[in-house]
């Protein structure tokens, strides 16, 4: 058919697949773009007379001659209609067929009680099919009858905006490699991200993306590969995984994941050589913004084009962490992102172990890591905001990830099997190592208790509820004591041959675990507060350990952002209790219990105020003016300062101390109550310990902050 051929009504003719499917054709020659996107270009052709019968078919009379086809002459009404509604000539960007592929709406995992269970099962194989492989999940190469909600030209523009970010490929690669070399608290096995970022270089070089904008062919190719289902075999090796999402198979899921990782690395203080030049200081913040914008754009593109797959989950997880760093835990984008992450995980079905059974062992472990980490993050932000959780342990039977190193997880089959054999009965490594998987396991154990405690935050605490809370408290202590000894924080680890980053993670996990006890004691609410020894003790221990982070002197690691996260998630809630106790003690004259020092509380609150004030002037704190946590830190500092001033002055607290409303700050414990903190707490790590274990030193008053002398903001005593 000639490119200028048209139908009887004057409009361009459609190719046969588009005509039969009744979908819009872009009329491209020799193959239309829609058929190329669907992978059926070999079936795309233009019939010169699609509604006529073949001329070689004999007529019914048996003469052997084909009957001439009658041509219907257009009626006057049809001609009049064409004049009233002349065909619009779409712009080149809008002429492409844009129907939604049916694969995009593939339902994914279908569990017990789903509509698929009610349908008759296929008995031909002699056994019931898996629910998720039921008739409801059958694939089709047909398209849906409606168009994409965002036009194709807009998608091309969004794709262009993402790919143009790769002009910074060298810096992005350096950031991703540094992150995976130094951060032992990551979730995705390091080798998978390293292979992916290295494989991306061939695309950057081929299309000269460092110096030139992406060409339309590359944009169309990446959009098309993203829209294809992500399929892998059970025999796939981890070292070959990047082939499925790089080169000609490059997908926006992996691009967005890598951009988010690079952005987090840059936000935590690692700066490539490019930014060490004072003339380029301003470009660092601009690159962070560009990386977040490009990564988030990848979310939108993959949601529209792709069926949910493992890469989708990785993208949403990394983007969630990046979003919380930029927007804060209280920012609406963070709450939306954790909801989207949980939605996609349930759709993929990785909350069920049986769904992981058909994947390679290394991918099974990766799925367990990312699900448990997402569960942990969900409890953290839900606690912080006082909102319902999105992921419940009641709906999952997923096992804890094994305590394996990344190299063991992504190594060859023999290495992996040997490493698994060396684990103990509970899945812990027996060599005293601190691994990425170790921190996921520890936090998950602690935050499963958090889910139970959060259920009591919305009910009246009667005697039955108190009994249950005390039972949870007992189980929290027993769980702590059953952890491997090297996984439990001990206060002298800073003075021993333990890397400071390991000590940092030990404290974070310790705070996460014992914050559960803090929440229980708050719910029990024994009065008066000045005599509530259990609550005062756990509050002192929490605040003391948070302030210990200010003493880290390791110049190779920027602790400022982790320090601020610990202050927000653990320090301020504990300090709020202690400040309230000081005010109550001032009013009533009631002495504190013997093991609680009033002077120590005042000293710790004073140090906390210094940290909150200093955060506004530190580059990587995340609390400078204009950043997400600035107002929160400023108002908390004012509140604690007023309380300290009141306690130290002779007048009564009622005359001086303003209310929360006067300060414009609701400093209730519902607001400041979430751990989690999957920040950039890197390297190798270890255990816990706060005040209830063997190494905790319950009666130890902790660090003597009064002897610290002058404090150098975040750096500790000088």
Cβ(295)–Cβ(312) under 8 Å? no
**Among 164, 165, 156, 163, which residue's Cα sits nearest to residue 262?**
165
Cβ(411)–Cβ(239) under 8 Å? no
Dist. CA 134–CA 141, nearest whole Å: 17
Confidence of residue 122 (pLDDT cuts 50, 70, 90): low
Dist. CA 190–CA 176, nearest whole Å: 9
Longest dimension (CA), the chain: 120
Domain ranges of the chain: 1-54, 154-400, 491-690
Quote the DSSP letter at residue 527.
Answer: S
Confidence of residue 433 (pLDDT cuts 50, 70, 90): very high
Q: What is the pLDDT of residues 142-165, one digit of tens each?
A: 554 455 567 788 999 999 999 999
**C-alpha dihedral sign at 306, 344, 351, 134:** negative
**Among 478, 552, 497, 588, which residue's Cα sits nearest to residue 717?**
552
Q: What is the pLDDT of residues 557-574, one digit of tens each?
A: 667 788 888 998 999 999
Which pairs with CB-CB distance under 8 Å and at least 24 residues apart come from 466-472? 466/524, 469/520, 469/523, 469/524, 470/520, 470/524, 472/516, 472/520
- Residues 232, 236, 241, 246, Cα dihedral to 10°: -50
Burial class (CB in 10 A: 0-12, 13-18, 19+), 54: exposed
What pLDDT score was predicted for residue 143?
A: 52
pLDDT > 50? residue 556: yes
Dist. CA 159–CA 209, nearest whole Å: 14
Query: 1-54 has which CATH code?
Result: 4.10.240.10
Q: Which residue has the tokens 């490019």?
A: 274
What pLDDT score was predicted for residue 599?
A: 93
Cβ(180)–Cβ(405) under 8 Å? no
Q: Using alpha carbons, list the distances in angstroms from residue 677 to 177, 336, 375, 610, 620.
A: 22, 18, 12, 22, 16
**Percent of the residues in the chain that have a pLDDT greater than 90, as a whole number:** 49
Confidence of residue 684 (pLDDT cuts 50, 70, 90): very low
Residues 553-563 as b/e (b if ≥16 CB within 10 A, e otherwise) read eeeebbbbbbb
Mark residue 147 as left, alpha or beta (left: phi above 0; alpha: psi -120 to 50; beta: remaining).
beta
Structure tokens at 187: 């979730």
**Among 435, 483, 502, which residue's Cα sits nearest to residue 692?**
483
Structure tokens at 589: 């004259």
pTM comes to 0.75
SS (H, E, C) 414-433: HHHHHHHHCCCCCCCCCCCC
CA angle 507, 545, 671 (to 5 degrees): 95
Residues 701-718 as b/e (b if ≥16 CB within 10 A, e otherwise) read ebbebeebeebeebebee
Confidence of residue 60 (pLDDT cuts 50, 70, 90): very low
Confidence of residue 46 (pLDDT cuts 50, 70, 90): confident
**Among 219, 220, 221, 229, which residue's Cα sits nearest to residue 306?**
229
Cβ(20)–Cβ(38) under 8 Å? no
Structure tokens at 362: 């290394």
Structure tokens at 334: 């963070």
Structure tokens at 9: 């009504």
Taking each helix axis as running N to C, give the angle between helix 252-267 and helix 281-305, from 0 to 180 degrees, rounded to the nearest 10.
Answer: 150
Structure tokens at 634: 């400023």
Alpha-carbon Rg for the chain, nearest whole angstrom, is 31
Q: What is the pLDDT of residues 589-615, one digit of tens each?
A: 888 999 999 999 999 999 999 999 888
Q: Which residues contact 88 (CB under 8 A, 6 or more apart)?
A: none
Dist. CA 338–CA 374, nearest whole Å: 8
What pLDDT score was predicted for residue 353?
A: 86
Confidence of residue 617 (pLDDT cuts 50, 70, 90): confident
Which stretch of DSSP H or E encloses residue 143? strand 143-147
């Amino acid at each position: 058919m000639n490119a200028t051929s048209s139908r009887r009504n004057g409009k361009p003719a459609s190719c046969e697949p588009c005509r039969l499917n009744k979908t819009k054709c872009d009329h491209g020659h020799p193959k239309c773009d829609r058929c190329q996107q669907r992978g059926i270009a070999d079936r795309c052709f233009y019939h010169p007379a699609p509604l006529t019968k073949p001329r070689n078919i004999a007529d019914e009379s048996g003469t052997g001659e084909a009957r001439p086809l009658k041509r219907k002459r257009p009626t006057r009404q049809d001609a009049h209609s064409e004049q009233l509604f002349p065909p619009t000539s779409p712009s080149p960007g809008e002429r492409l067929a844009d129907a939604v592929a049916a694969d995009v709406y593939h339902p994914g995992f279908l569990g017990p009680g789903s509509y698929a269970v009610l349908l008759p099962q296929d008995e031909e194989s002699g056994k019931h099919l898996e629910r998720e492989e039921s008739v409801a999940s059958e694939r089709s190469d047909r398209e849906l009858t409606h168009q994409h909600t965002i036009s194709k030209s807009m998608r091309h523009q969004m794709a262009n905006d993402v790919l143009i970010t790769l002009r910074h490929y060298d810096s992005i690669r350096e950031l991703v490699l540094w992150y995976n070399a130094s951060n032992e608290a990551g979730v995705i096995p390091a080798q998978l991200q390293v292979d992916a970022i290295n494989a991306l270089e061939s695309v950057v070089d081929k299309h000269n993306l460092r110096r030139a904008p992406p060409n339309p062919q590359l944009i169309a190719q990446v959009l098309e590969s993203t829209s294809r289902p992500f399929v892998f075999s059970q025999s796939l090796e981890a070292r070959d995984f990047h082939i499925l999402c790089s080169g000609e198979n490059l997908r926006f899921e992996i691009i967005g994941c890598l951009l988010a990782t690079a952005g987090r690395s840059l936000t935590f203080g690692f700066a490539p050589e490019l930014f060490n030049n004072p003339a380029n200081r301003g470009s660092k913040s601009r690159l962070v913004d560009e990386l977040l914008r490009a990564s988030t754009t990848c979310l939108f593109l993959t949601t529209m084009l792709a069926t949910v797959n493992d890469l989708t989950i990785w993208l949403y997880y990394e983007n969630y962490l990046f979003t919380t760093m930029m927007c804060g835990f209280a920012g609406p984008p963070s709450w939306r992102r954790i909801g989207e992450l949980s939605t996609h995980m349930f759709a993929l079905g990785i909350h069920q172990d049986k769904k992981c059974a058909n994947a390679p062992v290394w991918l099974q472990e990766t799925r367990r890591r990312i699900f448990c980490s997402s569960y942990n993050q969900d409890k953290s932000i839900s606690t912080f905001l006082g909102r319902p959780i999105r992921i419940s342990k009641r709906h999952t039977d997923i096992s804890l990830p094994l305590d394996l190193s990344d190299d063991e997880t992504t190594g060859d089959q023999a290495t992996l099997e040997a490493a698994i054999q060396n684990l103990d009965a509970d899945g812990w490594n027996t060599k005293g190592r601190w691994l990425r998987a170790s921190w996921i396991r520890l936090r998950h154990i602690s935050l499963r208790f958090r889910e139970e405690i959060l259920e009591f935050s919305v009910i009246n605490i009667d005697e039955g509820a108190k009994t249950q809370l005390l039972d949870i408290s007992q189980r929290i202590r027993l769980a702590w004591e059953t952890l491997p000894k090297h996984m439990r924080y001990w206060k002298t680890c800073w003075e021993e041959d333990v890397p400071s980053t390991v000590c940092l993670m030990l404290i974070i996990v310790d705070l996460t675990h014992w914050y559960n006890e803090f929440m229980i004691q708050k719910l029990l609410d024994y009065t008066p507060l000045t005599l509530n020894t259990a609550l005062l003790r756990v509050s002192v221990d929490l605040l003391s350990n948070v302030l210990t982070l200010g003493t880290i002197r390791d110049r190779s690691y920027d602790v400022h952002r982790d320090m601020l996260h610990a202050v927000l998630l653990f320090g301020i809630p504990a300090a709020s209790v202690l400040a309230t106790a000081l005010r109550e003690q001032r009013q009533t004259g009631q002495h504190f219990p013997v093991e609680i020092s009033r002077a120590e509380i005042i000293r710790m609150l004073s140090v906390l105020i210094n940290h909150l004030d200093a955060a506004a002037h530190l580059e990587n704190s995340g609390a400078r003016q204009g950043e997400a946590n600035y107002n929160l830190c400023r108002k908390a500092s004012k509140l604690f300062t007023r309380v300290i001033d009141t306690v130290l002055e002779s007048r009564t607290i009622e005359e001086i101390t303003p209310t929360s409303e006067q300060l414009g700050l609701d400093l209730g414990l519902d607001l400041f109550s979430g751990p989690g903190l999957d920040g950039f707490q890197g390297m190798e790590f270890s255990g816990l310990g706060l005040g209830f274990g063997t190494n905790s030193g319950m009666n130890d008053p902790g660090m003597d902050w009064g002897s610290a002398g002058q404090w150098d903001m975040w750096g500790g005593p000088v």
